[in-house]
Amino acid sequence: MKLSARDAMGVFTRPDPNKSGVLIYGANAMRVALKRQQLVKGLIGPLGEKEMRLTRLQGGELRRDGAALNDAIKAVGFFPGPRVVLVEDANENCADAVLAGLKDWQKGDAQMVVIGGTLKPTSKIRKAFEGHPNAWAIAIFDEPPSRAEVEAGLAKVGMGEVSPEASLAIFDLSKALDPGDFHQFLEKLSLFCMTQAGPVTIGNVEDCAPQSTEAALDDVIGLVADLKTNELAPILHRVIAQGGTATGLCIAALRHFRMLHTAACDPGGTAQGVGKLRPPVYGPRRDRIQRQVTSWSRDRLEQVISLLLETDLKLRSAGQTAPQMAQVERCFIRITMMGKR
């Protein structure tokens, strides 16, 4: 039976152990893997694998030994409870074994969980699961999670009350981050706020959200964009002491000023442009970037990007004799001077 995204969410939350099998397929391997993990855990519980109630098979193995799947489905476990046979990397080469397993399945057998990549509508495996009255076929699309899925993720990590502003920020992050990174962010946020009195705040989200660059680099690039030439030297020396490189600084600056240029070019205005940045920025950092975008014209930003590209090329060129960090420091000072004109 083919399931819609809405119905599929209920399957992952409360899987039915009496089904013959579930097919999960999609182009994004990480999204598919997270759903597979959720489904298997829901079927056999956190101790299922230790109790040997989970059998793993590869699609390639079934091409050589088609009976292995049926043997695993019919096997009697040492421990009581539902059993799962997980078939990974399923494709047309193992279709005959999977179809035979579906046909011979009886109540009390292990449930099949079959994982595939991009399966065409003509796929034998996909057609078999979509047409089977006691099996599910679930397509995982490469698109951001819905608000309901985000709320389910919050509940899964034991998150308490969340303020409206923080909830909106978390939803924005779900669209900007890869599924694995977003899941790690939720776990980190949950631990961070575990002993906190009151709801999760926007500040908590900002503290736990992944940053595009290290904090020390952010400090340097922030001072350059804020035109604070006199404060630049001590922070730059701190970055050098921490192992920062000239190329790393140049790349970080290029990324930052391209971000400012993207926001400045938004047809809806700079505020709307900052709001569309990915990954999203919040709180004081958002206010700071908003001020920077406003203080720099698009023409100046394009000049800065050209200067940074030129500096980066010099740093990577063979035969350079000038100290690399000195070149970057000179470039940053030139940028602050350009902004003051």
The predicted-structure confidence for 144-178, as pLDDT tens digits, reads as follows: 788 888 888 888 888 888 988 888 888 888 877 77
Find the helix packing angle between 147-156 and 164-176, rounded to 10°.
100
Looking at 139, 156, 186, the residue that finishes a domain is 139
Residues 6+ apart with CB under 8 A from 50: none
Q: In the predicted model, what is the mean pLDDT of the chain?
A: 86
- Is the same domain home to 91 and 198? no
- For the chain, how many structural domains are there in total? 3
pLDDT in tens, 242-278: 677 888 888 888 888 888 888 888 887 878 888 878 7
DSSP string covering 286-327: HHHHHHHHHHS-HHHHHHHHHHHHHHHHHHHSTT--S-HHHH
Q: In the prediction, which pLDDT does 102 show?
A: 94
Q: In the prediction, which pLDDT does 212 show?
A: 46
Looking at 139, 164, 179, the residue that finishes a domain is 139
- Is the same domain home to 193 and 114? no
Q: In the prediction, which pLDDT does 127 show?
A: 95
Residue 324 has pLDDT above 90, yes or no: no
pLDDT band at 42 (very low <50, low <70, confident <90, very high): very high
DSSP string covering 232-251: HHHHHHHHHHTT--HHHHHH
What is the rounded (10 degree) CA torsion for 164, 169, 170, 175?
Answer: 130
Report the range of poorest mean pLDDT among 103-112, 197-206, 221-230, 235-244. Answer: 235-244
Q: In the prediction, which pLDDT does 285 show?
A: 75
Return the CATH number at 58.
3.40.50.300
Q: How far apart are CA 296 and CA 224, in angstroms?
A: 12
Looking at 94, 119, 139, the residue that finishes a domain is 139
Report the range of poorest mean pLDDT among 54-63, 199-208, 212-221, 263-272. Answer: 212-221
Which DSSP helix (H) or strand (E) runs through 85?
Answer: strand 84-90
Q: How far apart are CA 321 and CA 92, in angstroms?
A: 59
Q: In the prediction, which pLDDT does 45 show?
A: 92
The angle at the Cα of 189, spanning 185 to 191, to the nearest 5 degrees, equals: 120
In the chain, the amino acid numbered 156 is K
- Is the same domain home to 185 and 88? no
Beta-strand relationship, 111-116 and 84-90: parallel
Percent of the chain topping pLDDT 70: 95
- Is the same domain home to 244 and 335? yes
DSSP 13: H
Determine the structural domain holding residue 151 and report its residue range.
147-208
Of 174 and 210, more confident: 174
Percent of the chain topping pLDDT 90: 30
Of 45 and 283, more confident: 45
- Is the same domain home to 132 and 164? no
- Is the same domain home to 270 and 227? yes
Q: In the prediction, which pLDDT does 96 show?
A: 94
- Is the same domain home to 133 and 17? yes
- Is the same domain home to 131 and 25? yes
Q: In the prediction, which pLDDT does 340 show?
A: 66
